[in-house]
Amino acid sequence: MAFEGSSTSLHWAEFGGQCSHEEIDRQVAALRPLSVDSLIAIGGGKVIDAAKCVAHRLGVALIVCPTLASTDAPCSAAAVVYTAEGVFKDVEFFPGNPDLVVVDTAIIAKAPLRFLLAGMADALATGYEARTCIQNTKARSMVGGRISIAASTLANICSETIFTYADDAVAAAKAGIPDHAFEQVVEANTLLSGTGFESGGLAAAHSVASALTLVPSIEHGFLHGEMVAVGTMIHLQLENDLVELERVEELLARLGLPRALSDLGVEVRDGSEALDTIVDAACSMPFMQNEPFTVTASLLRNAITAVEVRRQSQVPQRRDRQI
């Protein structure tokens, strides 16, 4: 390996599987006595987010080497922290972004297709949430500032890149060949989405996605981007943007991604405990305050129901997710 023959001492630390305060504290306690001067995170989004927290607490440089393009974690200066059970808890912010991000698309191309698709869904939401935030003068970015034209433009390019290259990138991934389309999508999933969400802001799509982690069957059975896919549908329905809703719906269907709560195993009906939990939690998310109107439980439930009606009207009725 690259460190062989060098004077560098390398210490391996295995990630426990959840970016929780318990895991972060465990890693800090194990690494601090070693007086490490840098941290290298190799893996997916939760590994990377946990490494950001650990590196910050240790005061060392962070090098990120993602093996998946499933989230926008690699380039952002924020980490999503969960409970030990995997329920969304809070977002931790850092004074700077990772010191170095190394993306080898030959490695990314060998990962299961499902991860790339989830990353596309996460990236797709970026432009829509930034659009909401820039149009609402009271909305704020992830670090509390107003949304700049530059941030909004980056976020929009992120979403449009997915629309433009998604199908060709999927074909490349299936062939295991990181061609131009594949690399465009990987850049959107990691760099553009990461800078886009932290500078452009979040809104209803990620509020719903975060709330979905409260349902154990969803948290354990679906990826973050798959939850965001459903969140984006609900976001656009909530804002009554039926043109973009149809555009997103067509792309998600083509990619085999979830488009409604029923695709995640949740029944949209009166008396559904899971639905009640999702609605209440989503309305209380801080990101939801970036919407230009007050999102009440009734409004959100109506949007969820409308998305479900669209989904149920489509034939054949099946889960189209590609693995």
Give the closest residue to 120 by CA, choosing from 78, 155, 72, 80: 72
pLDDT of residue 316: 52
Cross-strand bridge partners of residue 39 = 62
- Does 48 show up as a binding residue in the annotation? yes
Question: Helices (H), strands (E): how many in the chain?
Answer: 13, 5
**Arch. (CATH architecture) of 112-312:** Up-down Bundle (1.20)
- Does 46 show up as a binding residue in the annotation? yes
- Does 68 show up as a binding residue in the annotation? yes
CATH 3.40.50.1970 intervals, the chain: 21-102
Separation CA 78–CA 90 (nearest Å): 10
pLDDT of residue 323: 28
- Does 47 show up as a binding residue in the annotation? yes
CATH 1.20.1090.10 intervals, the chain: 112-312
- Does 70 show up as a binding residue in the annotation? yes
- Does 76 show up as a binding residue in the annotation? yes
- Does 224 show up as a binding residue in the annotation? yes
Q: Domain 21-102 maps to which CATH number in 3.40.50.920, 3.40.605.10, 3.40.50.1970, 3.40.50.720?
A: 3.40.50.1970
In what side-by-side order are the strands of the sheet with 100-101?
38-43, 61-66, 100-101
User: Along the 323 residues of the chain, how does pLDDT read in single tens digits?
Assistant: 566 767 788 899 999 999 999 999 999 999 999 999 999 999 999 999 999 999 999 999 999 999 999 988 999 999 999 999 988 898 899 999 999 999 999 999 999 999 999 999 999 999 999 999 999 999 999 888 999 999 999 999 999 999 999 999 999 999 999 999 999 999 999 999 999 998 999 999 999 999 999 999 999 999 999 999 999 999 999 999 999 999 999 999 999 999 999 999 999 998 899 999 999 999 999 999 999 999 999 999 999 999 999 999 984 544 444 32
pLDDT of residue 3: 67
Counting Cα atoms < 13 Å in the Cβ hemisphere of 91 gives: 19
Q: Are strands 88-93 and 78-82 parallel, antiparallel or unpaired?
A: antiparallel
| pTM of this structure | 0.90
Expressed in angstroms, the distance from the first to the final Cα of the chain is 32
Give the closest residue to 266 by CA, choosing from 258, 275, 257: 275
pLDDT of residue 322: 35
- Does 235 show up as a binding residue in the annotation? no
pLDDT of residue 71: 87
